[in-house]
Amino acid sequence: MNSNAIEKLAPIFSAAFALIYIFSVELNWALVTYHPKIHQWGWLVEPSRDGPPMYWYGWLVTSTLGATAVSVIALPFLKNRPTQYWLGWTVPLLVIISVFYLFRDFFLR
């Protein structure tokens, strides 16, 4: 893959990652679960084994795989189009604002 393709895909990947991440957190689409107290991993969303489970790693894996798939699908459509730089920062910024909104009770205690 040449640098021109990477330059065109980076904004698409960033936007897709941000959108998929917000859905992963809200709907708990975790591909792996980590149980920190017993240092064990599990597939998909698992209930607590001993102490609270961590889904964050699973959300990252879900978002990375989803954004990679979106980028690969978008590649043929982007070959003759200009790079969409605005997409790479606008969508993640909106997602950050929505995360603050979703977790407003946590921040405003």
Q: What does the domain layout of the chain look like in residue ranges?
A: 3-107
Measured CA distances, 105 to 19, 41, 73 (Å): 21, 29, 37
Q: What is the average pLDDT across 63-74?
A: 94
> Residue 15 pLDDT more than 70?
yes
Mean pLDDT (the chain, rounded): 86
| Among the listed residues 24, 26, 5, the one whose alpha carbon sits nearest the alpha carbon of residue 71 | 5
Residue partners of 75: CB distance under 8 A and separation at least 6: 5, 8, 9
> Residue 6 pLDDT more than 90?
no
Residue partners of 84: CB distance under 8 A and separation at least 6: 8, 11, 12
Q: What is the pTM of this model?
A: 0.75
